[in-house]
Structure 1
C-alpha cells in the first residue's frame, strides 16, 4: 500500500494579485474559520490540485483563476504538483519536471495512478475499460461540505462518467478485490476485445472466399502453363508495347494541360490589364483639367496629349498580346484533342491481346489458364490469412483465460467475508459512539451502502460510515492510503453535545499513522492543541501581502511549465 502525505499547499491568483500558503502537520491540521472566510475553498483546493474537483465550487473562487502548487510525499519520496487551469505539471523533489500536460482523464490521471499504484479499472459509457481519474482514488478520503453530508460516495464532480461506479470503487478500496484483480480484469477485457476484432476479420475473409468461389467457373482439366509458352511470351511483349505507348501519350497530355493552364492565367491577367488601361484612357479623355491629382498618393499628373498617346499605345500592346495568347490556347487545345484521340487508337493492341488470350489448346484457353492461376494465388493468400487470424484468435483466448484464472484466484470469498465482518463491527461501534440510535444494521450492512437517515442523525450516520470504511481500508486494502480531508462535519443543527461528539470523533478516531485535515467553524469546546490554520477575513481567503512570497516560490515551476 502506497502512502500519500501532504506537506504544503500554495494558492496564487494573478488576477487578484493575492495568494495563500498552508502547511500541513503530518498528523492533524484543523482549518478553523467562520462561514464565508474561504475555509471550504481552501480545503477543496487540496485534492483539486491533483485533478479531483469538488462536486460544487464557489463561482467567485472560479473567477479568481487560482493556480495551485501542492508539495507531498509518496512513501517518503518528495514530489510537487502544479495546476494552472487545465494544465498540470508533476515534479520530483529536486524540482525537475517529470511530466507536463493537459487533461485529467488522459493526462495527469494516469500519472497519479502510476505514482500511487492505482490499478482500478471501470467501464465507461461506451463499455471501454480504463483507469478512472484521480477523483476515484481520493473518493473514500474526502468529505465535501456541500454534498457529502447528504449522500456518500459523491464528493467529486463528474463521477457519473462511469455508471454504477459505487460498488466497484467500494470493493476496490475496501480490499475485497485487490489491485491485481482489476489489472487482470483490464487484461482480460483487452484480450476479449482484440479477439472479437480478429473474429470479425475472420468472418470477413470467409465471406470473401465464399463469394469468389461462387462466381468461379469449373475447369475439369490441368492448367499447365507449358502448353502456352509462345502465347505467354507474345502476350507479355504486346502488353509492354501497349504500356509504353500509353505512358508516352499520357506524359504528353500532362505537359499540354500544364501549358494550357499557364496560357489561361496569362490571358486573365492581360484581360484585367486591358480593362484598367482602357478605363484610364477614358478618364483622361473626358477630363478637361491640365493637371490631375492622384486621390491616393497626392501625385500631380499632366493631362496632355503625350500621356494620352502613351496610354493608347499601352492599350494596343496589351490587346495584341491578348490576341496572341488566345491563339496559343487554341493551338494547345488542338494538340490536346489529338493526344486524346491517339489514346483511343490503342483498340487494335487490345484486340490483339484478347486474341492471344482466346487461343486454345484443346478445350483450354490461355485466358482460362491465367484466371485459374490468379484464383489459385488468391485462394492460397486467403488460406494463409485465415490461418494467421486463427492463430491470433487462439493467442488472445489464451491471454483471456490466463487473466480469468488470476481474477478467480484473487476473488477470495473467505477473505471477503472477513473484510465485511470487520467493516460491520467498526460501523456498529461508530454508530453507537456517535449516538445514531435509529440507524439499523440493515441500512448499512452492504459495504457500498446508501446511508438513509433524516435530520441531524444523517451527518452522524455518514461520519460513522466514512470512518468505518477508512479503518477497513487501512487494515485490508492494497490501494494507496491518502490524507483524510473532512469539511465542516457539524451539519443539520446538531445540538451542543452532538457537535462536540462529532469533532472529538473526527480528531480521535482516525487510523494510526493517518493524516487528517479537518475544516470547522468551531471546535465546539473540544480540547485540541495541534496545528491550526485560521481563515479570518470575510470573503477574502487570499492575502495580497503573500503574493510576492508565493510568486517567488512558484516561479521556478512556472518556468518549467512553459518549456
Structure 2
C-alpha cells in the first residue's frame, strides 16, 4: 500500500510579499469560514494544484500563477517536500533534490515514487500511455464549482477529455479491475503465435533446401554477382552521404545557436548571484556590469533590466528559472552533439562502402558442402527458438486464465460493495432513483435542484468509499461544500450526516469545506476528533512573509 498525507501547505506571493502556512491532520480536516468568499475552496484547490493537477476555475482574485506553493507531505511515513511555481516543480525527497519543467515529467516521478502505472488511451490511438497528474488525482477531488451538475469526476480537473473513457478506466485501475494487463498478455500471446508460425515456415523451407542438396551428386557454381545492381547501390550510397552532409551542417549550426543562448543565461545567473551576495547596506551606491552589453548599472537598474522586485525570494526564483533553462539547453547541446557523432560515424561508414563497391570488378561465389552444415545448424537453431516461443505461450495462457479469474472475483466483490452502499445511501438520503444505478456507469445524472445534489453526493460518497476500502493507493480526498441549491434543515441533516459517516471517516486523509454555521449538522464527537481550520480574510499575511520565505526549498547550483 502507498499512502500520501499532506502535513502542511505554504503559499507565498513574492510580488506583494505576503504568505501563510496551513497545517493539517493526517486523518480528517474541516476547512471552515464564517461565510463564503474567504478562501476555503482556494486552499483545497491549491493542494491539488501543487500536486500537479490542472485545476479549473480558481477565483479571479487568487493569482495562483504568481504564487509559490509548497507542500510538506509523507509518502508511507517518509517525509517529502513538493514546491510548485507555474510549470516548474521542485521535489526534496530524502537527500535528493529534483526539478521538473512540466507536469508530464513530474507525473513520471510521482507515479514511480508511489509504485503507480496508470495507463490511458488517447482517443485516436490504440496504445496506452502513462497518464498525467490530472488523471491520477481526478477521483480524489470533488469541486464545488464543477462537480454538482450531474457529471461525475470529470469536470473538477482539466485534461481528462484527452483520454478515451477516462473516468471508468481510472476507477478500474484504482480498484484492481483494469483489464489493460489482460489485453497486454493477449497481445503478447498473439505476437508469439505469429512468430511460431513464421519459424515453422522457415524450418520447412530450410528442410526443403537441405533435401535438394542431398539429392545432388556435385555442387554447382553460383552465378556472378549482378554488377548493375551494385552500380545502383553505389548511387544510393552517394545520395545518402549528401543527405548526411546536410544534416551534419544543420546540427553544427544548432549547437552554435544553443551555446550562444546558454552563455547569455549563464551571464544572467552570474549577475543575479552577485545581487544576492551583496548586503543590504548602501544598495543604491553599488554599481553592476550588465552581463549582456557590459554597461555600468546600479542595483535598481540591474533589477529593472531583469524585471525583478528587490527581494531575495524573487531573485532566487529567477535564478531557479534560469538554471532550469540552462539545464534544458545543455541537454539540447548534448543531444545534438551525440547526434552529430552518430551522423559523422554513419557518413564515414557510407564512404567506406562506396570505396568498396567502386573497387569491385567481378564477384563470384561458390556453394560448397559447408553450406549444408550451416543450413542444418540454422534449422536446429530455429527449432530451439520455436520451442521456446511455444513454451512461453503456454505460460502466458496460464497467466491469462489466472488474471481473468482474479478480475471476475474482484468485479463481483466491488459490485456487491457498490450495491450495498447505494442501498444504504439511497435510503438515508431518500433517493430511490439510484437503486437502478450500476457500478461503472458514469453517464450524466438528469434533473436539478436538491434532488440532483443528493444523487451526486450519494454517488461521490459511494465511489470515494470504494477507493478507500479497496485501492492500494491512498491519496488525500477532498470535497468542497455540496450545497449549491437551497436546502431545508432536514435535508442538510441527512446530507452532512452522510458526509460524516461515508467520507470523513475514510482510511485516506480527508478535507471538507464548510461554513461555520453548518458545523451544527456534524456530531460533537466527530468535531472533537477533527482538525478544524478556521480561515479569516486576508488568508495571506505580510507578517508571515519573511519567516516562510526562508523555508522554501531551492535548487541552486
Tell me which interval the TM-score lies in, with the shorter structure as reference length. 0.5 to 0.7
Equivalence map 1:162-181=2 (5 Å): 162-175=163-176, 177=177
1:25 and 1:531 in contact (8 A); partners too: yes
Whether 1:479 and 2:472 are equivalent positions in the alignment is: yes
Measured in 1, the distance between the counterparts of 2:60 and 2:395 equals 49
What is the CA-CA distance between 1:431 and the residue it aligns to?
2.5
Measured in 1, the distance between the counterparts of 2:166 and 2:14 equals 37
What is the CA-CA distance between 1:456 and the residue it aligns to?
1.7
Q: Specify the alignment match of 1:101 in structure 2.
A: 100
Q: Which of 490, 493, 498 lines up with 1:505 in the alignment?
A: 498
Q: Which of 504, 513, 518 lines up with 1:519 in the alignment?
A: 513
SS in 2 for 1:558: coil
Measured in 1, the distance between the counterparts of 2:373 and 2:63 equals 67
Q: Which of 116, 128, 138 lines up with 2:114 in the alignment?
A: 116
What is the CA-CA distance between 1:468 and the residue it aligns to?
1.8
1:195–1:531: structure 2 CA closer, same or farther, 3 Å change rule? Answer: same
SS in 2 for 1:3: strand
Q: Which of 434, 449, 452 lines up with 1:455 in the alignment?
A: 449
Q: Specify the alignment match of 1:294 in structure 2.
A: none
Q: Specify the alignment match of 1:492 in structure 2.
A: 485
Measured in 2, the distance between the counterparts of 1:141 and 1:65 equals 25
1:468–1:224: structure 2 CA closer, same or farther, 3 Å change rule? Answer: closer
Equivalence map 1:140-289=2 (5 Å): 140-150=139-149, 151-154=151-154, 155-175=156-176, 177=177, 184-185=181-182, 188=185, 191=188, 222-223=218-219
1:420 and 1:447 in contact (8 A); partners too: no
Measured in 1, the distance between the counterparts of 2:189 and 2:61 equals 48
1:12 and 1:67 in contact (8 A); partners too: yes
1:18–1:200: structure 2 CA closer, same or farther, 3 Å change rule? Answer: farther
What is the CA-CA distance between 1:486 and the residue it aligns to?
0.7
Whether 1:39 and 2:40 are equivalent positions in the alignment is: yes
Q: Specify the alignment match of 1:12 in structure 2.
A: 12
What is the CA-CA distance between 1:48 and the residue it aligns to?
1.9
Number of residue pairs aligned between Structure 1 and Structure 2: 408
1:381–1:169: structure 2 CA closer, same or farther, 3 Å change rule? Answer: same
Measured in 1, the distance between the counterparts of 2:8 and 2:482 equals 23
Measured in 2, the distance between the counterparts of 1:398 and 1:536 equals 65
Gaps of at least 5 residues in structure 2 are: 210-215, 225-354
Q: Specify the alignment match of 1:432 in structure 2.
A: 427
What is the CA-CA distance between 1:393 and the residue it aligns to?
5.8
1:192–1:45: structure 2 CA closer, same or farther, 3 Å change rule? Answer: farther
What is the CA-CA distance between 1:60 and the residue it aligns to?
5.0
1:374–1:100: structure 2 CA closer, same or farther, 3 Å change rule? Answer: farther
What is the CA-CA distance between 1:402 and the residue it aligns to?
4.8
Gaps of at least 5 residues in structure 1 are: 214-219, 229-234, 236-342, 358-366
Measured in 2, the distance between the counterparts of 1:77 and 1:89 equals 17
1:453 and 1:461 in contact (8 A); partners too: no
1:467–1:4: structure 2 CA closer, same or farther, 3 Å change rule? Answer: same
**Root-mean-square deviation over aligned CA pairs:** 4.4
1:32 and 1:520 in contact (8 A); partners too: yes
If you compute each CA radius of gyration, which structure gives the higher value, 1 or 2?
Answer: 1
2:492 and 2:521 in contact (8 A); partners too: no
Q: Specify the alignment match of 1:423 in structure 2.
A: 418
Q: Specify the alignment match of 2:295 in structure 1.
A: none
SS in 1 for 2:473: coil
What is the CA-CA distance between 1:138 and the residue it aligns to?
3.1
SS in 1 for 2:170: helix
Measured in 2, the distance between the counterparts of 1:470 and 1:183 equals 22
